Amino acid sequence: MEKSNYMAFLQEARQFIPQERIYTDELRRLAWGTDAGFYRLIPQIVIRSEGEEEISRLLKLAGSHNLPVTFRAAGTSLSGQAISDSILIVAGKHWEGYSISPDHEEITLQPGIIGQRVNELLAPFGRKFAPDPASVKSAMVGGIVMNNASGMNCGTHANSDKVLLSARIVLADGTVLDTGDSVSRAAFEVTHRDFIRRICTLRDEVRADGKLAERIRYKYSIKNVTGLNLLPFVRFDDPFDIIAHLMVGSEGTLAFLSQVTMKTEYDYPCKASAMLYFKTIKEACRAVVAMKKLTGGNGEWTVKGAELLDWKSLASVSDPVFLKYKGEICSSTLPGVEPGDETGLTAVLTETKARSTEELRQNIRAIEQCLSAFQTYTPVCFTDKPEEYSKYWAIRSGIFPSVGGTRKPGTTCLIEDVAFHIEDLPEATAELQQLIARHGYEDACIYGHALEGNYHFILNQSFSSEAEVKRYEDLMNDVKTLVADKYDGSLKAEHGTGRNMAPFVRHEWGDAAYEVMKAVKNLFDPKGLLNPGVIFNDDPKCHIKNFKPLPLIPLDAQNPAAKVNRCIECGFCEVNCLSCGFTLSSRQRIVLQREIARLRQNGEAPERLALLEKQYRYPGNQTCAGDGLCSMSCPMGINTGDLTHIIRQKELPQGSMGYKAGNFAANHFAGIKSALRPVLGLANLGHSVLGTKAMSCITKGMHNVLGIPLWTPAMPKAYSIKSSQLTIDNDTLRNKNANKDSSANGQLKVVYFPSCINQTMGLPKKSPVEQALASKMIALLQKGGYEVIFPENMEKLCCGTIWESKGMLDIADRKSAELEAALWKASEQGRYPVLCDQSPCLHRMRETIHKMKLYEPAEFIYTFLRNRLVFTPTDRPVAVHITCSMRKMGLADTITALARLCSSKVIVPEEVGCCGFAGDRGFTYPELNAYALRKLRPQIEAAGVSIGYSNSRTCEIGLTTNSGIPYVSIVYLVDECTQPATVKLNN
């Protein structure tokens, strides 16, 4: 395409889209041009869209310049569905609107809302989102619908095509059509009369061809997304219903989906799951076929889901039953199993659901009776405990990244999905497994939705030589023959056709069906500009071109950051990445660092390398909070924050001025804190003299011009723990304990280490509380009957988080070691628990100190003080912010449970993860903090909350600044709502 076309397009697009949402730089084109698939194209232009009108104008503009356009939401597509070397339009973070019908049976959604979020919205009404792909926690509605991604429980009866009611779309000519709105339909009939007429003609032609109509019904009796969706032509009479349903599985090749209305599904309250183990994959499939036939008295299927996991799948997640089986066959011979051959073991994760406990029991009995005809390796055992079966399903959802994480360095992880008719399942599955092995894919796995005859197979493939590419090509040709020719199944079952199966669409469907698909494409997109190369591709070799490289980032294998080399760029991390949609996401940081590493290692394009390194600094390094929440939604636990710390470490080598300054601060920490207090005092004085408005204006200008940390009214005054507090006289308390609780025996002691932040920072000028946190913490501990011990030389001590966040990892570890020695001594070699009042500090302490029991306030109070205090809850609504460190330590439920002991109205704002303050980053990059908390204030105001609680002083500064209400430690709420217990208690 002529460069001048793009320049002209850009010039006009900038007239209605802000520059900050149009990307043409090297760095962000690469970052946004990468998705979860194994292909890569680099777009010329990336546009972050915000509304339907923008899309309409962009499509008109692209059409006038003959420029191809591709749409993308979350980028979790797996086979090259949403990549472009032209214009990529992203519809994600700014497309999250929704509305639920009064009866809760319908929901209207924009394309950027995440599937799991839809389930959270519907859960209070006993409803759920019917499509349930394994990526539902990361995939967005636009991608789910446009790929017809179904999943583990929805099968063909409740996929997007079956539950879609209407669609609002933007056509290639910029026209907006809402198929569920009578006014929009009427207008479209006037402006696009020929379009409607052509849809009706195609409908009639398909129906008139009895053989074709019957083939369409047969092909869609199982999961099938190969090519465009032809089922609407035999299901619907109304042309607008046909248009709406043609969108499903169309992968953005026909129009832009700006809104969709779908039926919601009943969410059964009673559920149970069992992991069933069989010694052969054939036996597992026969059992699935038998379970498929089970129905209850109400005519509903008894088994709602049956997920097959082959031996490699089980091995990738270190399944304990698989490991036991492997050990047994290595040491002895099991009946019917070759010595040392663990490859037969197959699991089927089976789920049943019911409206009542009794109905659930009946279902389980029916399944157990059915399975008695089959030989299982372990006894059939169902569990209805969510804490148990949720672990099974988490394993299932994470199979793809987990298997990908086991691949050989430098290879690419590929995934495809096929479907067979259920009667063919045992033989076809075994043949598929043998076929893959015959082509030398020894580490490949097969897993998936066996109840629907739908399997995914994962290959770890190298494309480093022509021989390897040929091996893959031969495999796909044989898969085509097996699936499409021998069993007349689906080459693509639920992930959209993509580039990988585009060459085989005509082969699977035949000429008659393919010509109907082409006619639909030509009608909607006469210029062929919408997502070219996907579904329709004239290049028979398109599936073996444009492979995405996955080079290694050179890191010491012992370094936690080295786990990034296991990343397959699936994007599961992005739901927890606070900078996703603002600068870069955790996935994009890995993508870019891989490319930088590749350029360094190859010595090629030094100018491009220098450019990427320069462009990476702000979006990649400076606006990464390093909080590590990304690891919690990554099945392999990859923490991109670790990578950021390594990058920062390289920027501050030993001997540099920055490193020397950090080392000096570590060696003179008490003095540094003493010097900080006058600065805080001066800021407070300025606030008192100038007033809030003038102080804010002046300091904001200084921040923008000089780059100094941003002052806000939430900035605390200076604080210092008084020497009298460090030498607490516990005699009176000790006597009380002895009289009150003979079992205590003087052992109610705790080592309290106030974090350096809470040793230095007090309360802001306008605060709803009166005592600094350290004083309040001491008072609460004594209220609960605990004697307080402080470590020696506390002014010099620090957990090391400050240095870790700056990339000075050796200094951070040195400070941690100093703290450990002091706490070990103070706790009498671990005899007493240790309490730190700042959750991020406590998290690092737990990461580096392992020989003592360490607690943060909410956990300590809930564990040790709860039964020593009398709680009188308030009816005042309170907000609770769960810090990222609390989430990583598994204490989110603890702090909310504690808050609910104190208030009858506890609000945990939704879609608010890491606050983005990240130590001092909220002062230096306040825009990151503001973006992370953009959804907080509306929820606070809607709930009528006047005060919020957390357990991190710096987070509370950012929360106060961006919420409109003060945030303080949860300790204040507990102290307010409790009195000492007067009865004899055992701790």
Looking at the structure, do residues 963 and 863 belong to the same domain, yes or no? yes
Average pLDDT score over the chain: 92
Q: Which tens digits make up the pLDDT trace of 604-663? A: 899 999 999 999 999 999 999 999 999 999 988 999 999 999 999 999 888 899 999 999
Q: Does the pLDDT of residue 735 top 60, yes or no?
A: no
Going from the C-alpha of 294 to that of each of 281, 289, 291, 721, the distances in angstroms are: 21, 10, 5, 69
Looking at the structure, do residues 708 and 626 belong to the same domain, yes or no? no
Contacts of residue 54, Cβ cutoff 8 Å, sequence gap at least 6: 16, 17
Distance CA 448, CA 419 (A): 10
Distance CA 360, CA 366 (A): 10
Q: Write down the pLDDT at residue 987.
A: 45
Contacts of residue 317, Cβ cutoff 8 Å, sequence gap at least 6: 395, 398, 399, 402
Average pLDDT over residues 222-241: 97
Q: Which tens digits make up the pLDDT trace of 902-915? A: 999 999 999 999 99
Distance CA 182, CA 189 (A): 11
CA 19 to chain centroid, in Å, comes to 28
What is the chain's percent helix, strand, coil content, to nearest 5? 50, 15, 35
Looking at the structure, do residues 609 and 686 belong to the same domain, yes or no? no
Q: Does the pLDDT of residue 231 top 50, yes or no?
A: yes
- Give the confidence band of 546 by pLDDT, cuts at 50, 70, 90: very high
Contacts of residue 935, Cβ cutoff 8 Å, sequence gap at least 6: 909, 910, 911, 912
Looking at the structure, do residues 765 and 858 belong to the same domain, yes or no? yes
Q: Write down the pLDDT at residue 267.
A: 96
| Neighbouring-strand partners of residue 260 | 109, 167
Compare 410 and 833 and report the one with higher pLDDT.
833
Domain interval for residue 856? 674-980
Average pLDDT over residues 947-969: 96
Residue of 972, 971, 967, 970 whose CA lies nearest to 956: 967
Q: Write down the pLDDT at residue 318.
A: 87
Residue reference for tokens 């909607």: 524
Contacts of residue 497, Cβ cutoff 8 Å, sequence gap at least 6: 79, 81, 225, 226, 227, 249, 251, 505, 534, 535
Q: Write down the pLDDT at residue 986.
A: 47
What Rg do the C-alpha atoms of the chain give, in angstroms? 30
Least confident of 107-111, 294-298, 523-527: 294-298
Q: Which tens digits make up the pLDDT trace of 567-603? A: 999 999 999 999 999 999 999 999 999 999 999 999 9
Cα within 13 Å of Cα(625), Cβ side:
32
Going from the C-alpha of 934 to that of each of 7, 441, 532, 585, 938, the distances in angstroms are: 34, 47, 36, 17, 9
Looking at the structure, do residues 631 and 733 belong to the same domain, yes or no? no
**Percent of the chain having pLDDT more than 90?**
78
User: Sheet containing 346-354: which strands, arranged edge to edge?
Assistant: 270-278, 346-354, 303-309, 445-449, 454-461, 412-419
Whether pTM > 0.85 for this model: the answer is yes
- Give the confidence band of 919 by pLDDT, cuts at 50, 70, 90: confident
In degrees, rounded to 5, the angle at the alpha carbon of residue 142 between the alpha carbons of residues 40 and 31 is 30
Helical residues (DSSP H) of 150-209, grouped into ranges: 160-163, 182-191, 193-208
Whether residue 616 lies inside any domain: the answer is: yes
Residue reference for tokens 């495999």: 475
Whether residue 686 lies inside any domain: the answer is: yes
Q: Which tens digits make up the pLDDT trace of 464-499? A: 899 999 999 999 999 999 999 999 999 999 989 999
Average pLDDT over residues 295-324: 90
Whether residue 193 lies inside any domain: the answer is: no
Looking at the structure, do residues 645 and 679 belong to the same domain, yes or no? no
Looking at the structure, do residues 766 and 873 belong to the same domain, yes or no? yes
Q: Which tens digits make up the pLDDT trace of 71-102? A: 999 999 989 999 999 999 999 988 999 999 99
Whether residue 549 lies inside any domain: the answer is: no
Q: Write down the pLDDT at residue 738.
A: 54
Q: Does the pLDDT of residue 458 top 80, yes or no?
A: yes
Domain boundary among 369, 388, 405: 405
Q: Write down the pLDDT at residue 340.
A: 56
Q: Does the pLDDT of residue 744 top 50, yes or no?
A: no
Residue pair 223/453 in contact (Cβ under 8 Å)? The answer is: yes
Q: Which phi and psi (to 5°) does residue 884 adopt? A: -65, -35
Q: Write down the pLDDT at residue 984.
A: 45
| Neighbouring-strand partners of residue 306 | 350
Cα within 13 Å of Cα(934), Cβ side:
11
Looking at the structure, do residues 723 and 856 belong to the same domain, yes or no? yes
Tokens of 272: 């149970």
Q: Which tens digits make up the pLDDT trace of 676-697? A: 888 888 877 777 777 888 877 8
Whether residue 391 lies inside any domain: the answer is: yes
Contacts of residue 759, Cβ cutoff 8 Å, sequence gap at least 6: 673, 719, 720, 721, 774, 794, 795
Q: How many residues does the chain have?
A: 987
Q: What is the DSSP letter of 617?
A: I
Whether residue 747 lies inside any domain: the answer is: yes
Total domains present in the chain: 4
Q: What is the DSSP letter of 452?
A: G
Average pLDDT over residues 161-186: 98
Distance CA 452, CA 802 (A): 52
**Percent of the chain having pLDDT more than 70?**
96
Residue reference for tokens 């690419």: 412
Domain boundary among 382, 405, 428: 405
For the chain, the straight-line distance linking the first and the last C-alpha, in angstroms and rounded, comes to: 75
Domain boundary among 405, 432, 455: 405
Does an H or E element contain 827, and which?
none
Q: Does the pLDDT of residue 723 top 80, yes or no?
A: no
Tokens of 727: 């030498």
Average pLDDT over residues 396-407: 82
Looking at the structure, do residues 588 and 686 belong to the same domain, yes or no? no
Residue of 928, 845, 936 whose CA lies nearest to 626: 928
Compare 762 and 274 and report the one with higher pLDDT.
274
Whether residue 936 lies inside any domain: the answer is: yes
Q: Which tens digits make up the pLDDT trace of 842-883? A: 999 999 999 999 999 999 999 999 999 999 999 999 999 999
| Neighbouring-strand partners of residue 262 | 107, 164
Q: 3-state class of 484 per DSSP?
A: helix
**Strands 87-90 and 69-72, how do they pair?**
parallel
Q: Write down the pLDDT at residue 727.
A: 63
Looking at the structure, do residues 647 and 748 belong to the same domain, yes or no? no
Looking at the structure, do residues 341 and 309 belong to the same domain, yes or no? yes
- Give the confidence band of 743 by pLDDT, cuts at 50, 70, 90: very low
Looking at the structure, do residues 273 and 399 belong to the same domain, yes or no? yes
Q: Does the pLDDT of residue 737 top 80, yes or no?
A: no
- Give the confidence band of 742 by pLDDT, cuts at 50, 70, 90: very low
| Neighbouring-strand partners of residue 547 | 39
Q: Does the pLDDT of residue 199 top 90, yes or no?
A: yes
Whether residue 787 lies inside any domain: the answer is: yes
Q: Write down the pLDDT at residue 982.
A: 73
How many C-beta neighbours within 10 Å does residue 7 have? 12
Q: Does the pLDDT of residue 927 top 90, yes or no?
A: yes
